[in-house]
Amino acid sequence: MDDDHVNILVVLNYQIPLITFFLWKKAALRVCADGGANQLYDCIPHFYPHEDPTRIRTKFKPDLIKGDLDSLRPEVKAFYQGLGTCVLDASYDQDTTDLHKCVSHVLNDNVLSDCKPNQMRILVVGALGGRLDHEFGNLNILYSFPNSRIILINDESMVFLLSKEFIHRIHINRVNEGPYCGLIPLGNQAKSTTTTGLRWNLEGQSMEFGGLISVCNQLQSDDVTVMSDTDLIWTVTIDKVKGWLKESIATTEL
């Protein structure tokens, strides 16, 4: 997370993973998609039980709340607006999800001066688990913005798209990532995929639902390369971070 890219955190309306509070500190902009603000408001005092709830909620104030706002509770809206959070009602658009609205806004509406979309890394928490239709809708966002760096992340897994346009070199931090990983042809059959750095590499094999998909694979190297004729979902486990996350959150000065 510490490189030239600018991190933008998006919080969705599902259980907030512990890693949210680590990512919060790394983010230049913090956005809640509709009821993600409720989740933040409700959960943050539990992560810091010895702190005054109002004080800690103020410390973790989102910059923006956007969506159709059918989930955002009135008292949560009032609290954050009172602190200066921008609340944007996009209920006129019933064709896209709240996450789609937030990602589109971040990429297209000049949210950070001197930061172009290709410098951004959008980290999304609360996208995995919960309602299955929501989970697929969130994965669809990766396909809808294939030229953007968008990562879905929770305390167990990290997921992002590998666009078919590129040969990908994924640098693995093996302290935190792995050992398990997968390559999933979610949208289309992959006629030919080639990898290096995995325990079970692919050498031009085809992958499809109803046939082979690469699951329960394992990292064997610090660098994994992937080349395919179709967009693929890359998933890797990150549950190793739980070990130091709690301590990091507890000892961080607020």
Partner 1 sequence: MGNIHEVGNGHMKLLVLGGLSGRLDHVFANVNTLYLFPKVQMVLLNDENMAFLLPRGYKHEIRIDSSLEGPHCGLIPLGEPSSCTTTTGLKWNLTNSSMKFGGLISTSNRPVADHITVQSDTDLIWTVTLHSLQSRLKEQMSSADWTPI
Work out which of 209, 222, 242, 243 binds partner 1, going by CB under 8 A.
Answer: 209
> Do residues 6 and 28 lie in contact, with contact meaning Cβ atoms separated by under 8 Å?
yes
Query: Residue 80 or 182: which CB sits closer to partner 1?
Result: 182
Identify the residue among 159, 162, 202, 219 touching partner 1 (CB under 8 A): 159
Nearest Cα to Cα of residue 37 among 105, 1, 95, 86 = 86
- Reported as type and span, the H/E element at residue 249 is helix 242-251
| Of 5-13, 81-89, 165-173, 185-193: span binding partner 1 (CB under 8 A) | 185-193
Stretch that binds partner 1, among 31-39, 81-89, 131-139, 167-175 (CB under 8 A): 131-139
Type and span of the H or E element at 169: strand 168-171
Three-state secondary structure of 85-132: CEEEECCCCCCCCHHHHHHHHHHHCCCCCCCCHHHEEEEEECCCCCCH
* Among the residue ranges 31-39, 72-80, 104-112, 141-149, the one whose residues contact partner 1 (CB under 8 A): 141-149
Considering the rule CB under 8 A, would residue 242 count as an interface residue with partner 1? Answer: no
Q: Which residue has the tokens 């290709």?
A: 118
Judge whether 219 and 195 are in contact, CB under 8 Å. Answer: no
Amino acid letter for position 22: F
Span 2-41, contacts to partner 1 by CB under 8 A? none
Q: Which range binds partner 1 by CB under 8 A, 37-45, 72-80, 206-214, 242-250?
A: 206-214
Among 43, 69, 115, 213, binds partner 1 (CB under 8 A): 213
Stretch that binds partner 1, among 102-110, 112-120, 126-134, 192-200 (CB under 8 A): 126-134
Least distance between partner 1 and beta carbon 170 (Å)? 15
* AA letter at 28: A
Sequence-separated (6 or more) residues with CB below 8 Å from residue 113: none
Restricting to residues 85-114, name those near partner 1 by CB under 8 A.
97
CA distances to 21, 148, 179, 186, 249 from 246, rounded to whole Å, are 10, 30, 21, 33, 5
Q: Which is nearer to partner 1, 102 or 181 (CB)?
A: 181
Shortest Cβ 197–partner 1 spacing (Å): 16
Sites of contact with partner 1 (CB under 8 A): 97, 128-134, 136-137, 139-140, 143-144, 146, 156-157, 159, 180-182, 184-189, 208-211, 213, 215-217, 231, 235, 237
